[in-house]
Structure 1
Amino acid sequence: MFIISCGTNFEPEINSISAEPNPVVTGETVTLNCFASDDDEPNILKNESIDYTWFTAYGNIIPSESPEMVTWLAPQDSVEYSISCKVSDQYNGVDIATIEITVE
């Protein structure tokens, strides 16, 4: 007799997203960190990885060696901007968080 068990995929979850400094001066940089976890650890899917995607309509996102951390180059206009981080796993689990950054 064979028993086959299918693991349950839990979606990755963003625990927090941070920006330092915030507010920022026009043309300066901000370090962004996205802290995420995936509760698949105790089951058969424990080796899945989390992919990070950063996006914004304004300014430039500069990647780093760690995908959960990027640098954002603030635009020259003094307003509030939104930057989002999307985390996903290879089983189509997704979470998105957005942070507001004030440019002065």
Structure 2
Amino acid sequence: MPQVSKSENLQEVGRKIRHYREKKKMSQLELAEAIGVTQNTIYLIETAQSEMKLEKLFRIAEVLDVTPNKLLPGEAKTASNKFFEFEHMMKQLSEADQELIFNMVMPCMKRLLPNT
């Protein structure tokens, strides 16, 4: 199986974000304001000049009304599905239960996925 470079993955993610942003008729500035970053951050993401944490990708997906899977390159979709399912499950819980689970899970996640 051929290897896909990190750069190629970033380019694919950036192209997809731009595609769905334009499909929704949003400017970079509007998307940036919706997720709490600068317009330059969106520009850097869309042009594959910057990486992002999964949390930011999830916020972008939510604003663009797509699943995170739609924004990810093929090889990352399985991991994304798991996170998306977990996030959906968490939203169904009370705030107290969410905090309890978050406090139990996050230390493990940080050890397993230090870039999240």
Alignment TM-score > 0.5, same fold: no
Question: Which protein has greater RCO, CA pairs closer than 8 Å, 6+ apart?
Answer: 1
TM band (smaller chain): under 0.3
Q: TM-score with structure 1 length normalisation?
A: 0.25
